[in-house]
A and B are shown apart, each in its own frame.
Chain A
């Protein structure tokens, strides 16, 4: 009996260190934000197993990281405010360019825009980027506002008369003061990054004026679902989420048409950064993953899947034509000229914003 068991035991012992040595990469990314097939391909090529976890707002990401020892190797914070704040708190590890040969594929102009907060781009590479704007159902909006209503203005949402007429078909706003207040201020003709008391007062008044007509203030991932099922006819959210919702609605074939509108008043531009936490358990694997993602064909597959533009110009010819030529995905140079980037407000302003936002949600 024992003799028969011994080889088994030996096998087991031989297997143990192998299991312990199995390399694992822990990724914490936005929901619906990668081509899952590319994750499998990375594992196939490198033998590194990927444990993939998702968040649906910057608030959740920051909360998880603030406690320290998050156990993640790759995180995808937005350049401002989260990436900037994590950088200042010393929570990010400087990247080793030698381990990321594909770094040269990155668009220098776009990277330059992030260098303002991360000198010499030492801590992050742009993964994907996009704008904040409106997801609309053109047929419903025209039915409510008339055939010649302008569809490309934030006034669709922030003009109380329009909001009152659109309330019936469903108005939604993503639950993130960070990504909504700058657009409100912009619509009011104020500095999108203003955080003086009167900026807050004006923004609150504008939000309160439409509050009655807003159906839900929920996470961006829930808005994606609501747009795809036709539950919302006007929603303020991230560009790619709307474009994904439009694709899903089309697949469902129930006559729901969804369109992304980049506001003519100027849209909030954001960059999501690939970064490595300072205490990442497996930084080598993280570098390998960043290098893998920056390959043109991998980036093209991701953009095809999630409909957000990337920062690897060489991937552009490999992107499907319909996606490549969609100005909602790749805005033109003129459209980009009018965009602005959100800043990182000081702590006191942050509390006032949170409080303002809570009052907006409560409606009084």
Chain B
């Protein structure tokens, strides 16, 4: 009884903010589009999902979003490992400062940071200005509205999500293990590959997923910094909702993405449970 009472707020939260919205989403996905306000009529129609299945366009949008999200997560991991290792090895007093430095960008608005990148990357922006003044380029380099700009923006936005779990994982790793490997003649990279990486693998997977899952549905960065051809699922969702004004198809796409993203989470839980 006491346990039930203790758990009540958590269950209430889940019901109100997870289950109910998901239920509404499914209801709209099964509705029929209509000219009224709101632009759908509740029904049991598979039309929304049917449209998704009939047009390869949606599958491609999902696949390209997964590819960009995976790329972002890998790049974040590559950058986050050395950062997290440096922080974990620092004196405990300095760790706090270093962690604060990782978190600090989060205190500025997300859109402001994207806006700052746009200002840096545009044709008349700072980077092109410096390059031209140094005489390295004549015409401005096209930096903005490229896949590179999009990845840069995504990695910058999601990097802290990778650093924090890795740092926590590395903190639990006994430094003596790495020292032993090095004493036995392993070079730093070999020691990392054979000792640090396997020991912190769950943290790495957690870091990967924490970046991958929100990045898969990202809308703002591809829209503001990416090339027009990057038709990721987040942008396609926006188009269905705002341009076609077809809420059932938009909702069906959101449900499909949700189901798709639950898979890796379940796999991760299995892996954790086996350990």
Contact partner of A63 (CB less than 8 A), chosen from B36, B142, B241, is B241
Chain A hits for B242, CB < 8 A: 57, 59-60, 62-63
Looking at the assembled complex, report how far the CB atom of A218 sits from the nearest CB atom of chain B, in whole angstroms. 8
Within B190-239, the residues touching A (CB, 8 Å) are: 228-229, 231, 236, 239
Total number of A-B contacts with CB less than 8 angstroms? 73
A354 CA to B139 CA in the complex, in Å? 35
Q: What class of interface size applies to chain A in its complex with B?
A: 35 or more
User: At the interface, is chain A mostly helix, strand, loop or mixed?
Assistant: helix
B123: Cβ under 8 A from any A Cβ: yes
B184: Cβ under 8 A from any A Cβ: no
The reply to whether B231 and A229 form a contact with Cβ atoms under 8 Å apart is no
A338: Cβ under 8 A from any B Cβ: no
Contact partner of B239 (CB less than 8 A), chosen from A66, A88, A354, is A354
Chain B hits for A170, CB < 8 A: 123
The reply to whether B38 and A68 form a contact with Cβ atoms under 8 Å apart is yes
Contact partner of A350 (CB less than 8 A), chosen from B57, B228, B231, B245, is B245
Question: Contact string, A44-75, partner B, CB cutoff 8 A, digits 1/0?
Answer: 00000000000001011011011110000000
Q: What class of interface size applies to chain B in its complex with A?
A: 20 to 34
Within B16-49, the residues touching A (CB, 8 Å) are: 33, 35-39
A359 CA to B61 CA in the complex, in Å? 11
Within A243-269, the residues touching B (CB, 8 Å) are: none
A63 CA to B242 CA in the complex, in Å? 5
The reply to whether B123 and A350 form a contact with Cβ atoms under 8 Å apart is no
A364 CA to B142 CA in the complex, in Å? 21
A266 CA to B124 CA in the complex, in Å? 33
Contact partner of A88 (CB less than 8 A), chosen from B35, B122, B124, B245, is B35
Chain A hits for B108, CB < 8 A: none
Known: A59-B243, A358-B57, A358-B236. A229 touches B122 (CB 8 A): yes
The reply to whether A66 and B37 form a contact with Cβ atoms under 8 Å apart is yes
A89: Cβ under 8 A from any B Cβ: yes
Chain B hits for A88, CB < 8 A: 35
Q: Which of A94-102, A149-157, A209-217 contacts B (4 or more CB under 8 A)?
A: A209-217
A200 CA to B257 CA in the complex, in Å? 30
Contact partner of B145 (CB less than 8 A), chosen from A216, A354, A357, is A216
Which of A89, A90, A230 has the most B CB atoms < 10 Å from its CB? A89
The reply to whether B145 and A89 form a contact with Cβ atoms under 8 Å apart is no
A205 CA to B85 CA in the complex, in Å? 53
Give A230's nearest chain B residue, CB to CB: B124
The reply to whether A229 and B145 form a contact with Cβ atoms under 8 Å apart is no
B240: Cβ under 8 A from any A Cβ: yes
Looking at the assembled complex, report how far the CB atom of A90 sits from the nearest CB atom of chain B, in whole angstroms. 7
Chain B hits for A354, CB < 8 A: 239-240, 243-244
Chain A hits for B36, CB < 8 A: 89-90
A361 CA to B230 CA in the complex, in Å? 8
Looking at the assembled complex, report how far the CB atom of A248 sits from the nearest CB atom of chain B, in whole angstroms. 13
Chain A hits for B35, CB < 8 A: 85, 88-89, 347
The reply to whether A350 and B145 form a contact with Cβ atoms under 8 Å apart is no
Question: Contact string, A201-227, partner B, CB cutoff 8 A, digits 1/0?
Answer: 000000000000011110000000000
A353 CA to B242 CA in the complex, in Å? 13
Within A318-364, the residues touching B (CB, 8 Å) are: 347, 350-351, 354-355, 357-359, 361-364
Looking at the assembled complex, report how far the CB atom of A45 sits from the nearest CB atom of chain B, in whole angstroms. 33
The reply to whether A229 and B228 form a contact with Cβ atoms under 8 Å apart is no
Chain B hits for A91, CB < 8 A: 37
A85 CA to B243 CA in the complex, in Å? 13
Within B228-270, the residues touching A (CB, 8 Å) are: 228-229, 231, 236, 239-247
Contact partner of B231 (CB less than 8 A), chosen from A63, A347, A361, is A361
A215 CA to B37 CA in the complex, in Å? 37
The reply to whether B244 and A361 form a contact with Cβ atoms under 8 Å apart is no
A258 CA to B145 CA in the complex, in Å? 22
The reply to whether B229 and A362 form a contact with Cβ atoms under 8 Å apart is yes
Known: A216-B145, A229-B124, A361-B228. A351 touches B38 (CB 8 A): no
Chain B hits for A67, CB < 8 A: 37-38
A142: Cβ under 8 A from any B Cβ: no
Looking at the assembled complex, report how far the CB atom of A340 sits from the nearest CB atom of chain B, in whole angstroms. 22
Contact partner of A357 (CB less than 8 A), chosen from B55, B229, B243, B247, is B243
A231: Cβ under 8 A from any B Cβ: yes
A252 CA to B86 CA in the complex, in Å? 45
A63 CA to B246 CA in the complex, in Å? 10
Looking at the assembled complex, report how far the CB atom of B144 sits from the nearest CB atom of chain A, in whole angstroms. 8
Q: Apart from A88-B35, A351-B244, what are 10 other A-B pairs with CB-CB below 8 Å?
A: A66-B37, A67-B38, A215-B142, A216-B145, A354-B239, A357-B239, A359-B57, A361-B229, A363-B229, A364-B229
A-B interface, 10 closest residue pairs, ranked by CB to CB distance from nearest: A59-B242, A354-B244, A361-B228, A63-B242, A217-B228, A362-B231, A363-B229, A354-B243, A362-B229, A229-B124
| A residues neighboring B (CB under 8 Å) | 57, 59-60, 62-63, 65-68, 85, 88-91, 168, 170, 177, 214-217, 229-231, 347, 350-351, 354-355, 357-359, 361-364
A-B contacts, 13 listed (Cβ < 8 Å):
A62-B245, A63-B241, A65-B37, A66-B39, A66-B245, A66-B247, A88-B35, A90-B37, A230-B123, A347-B33, A347-B35, A355-B55, A355-B57
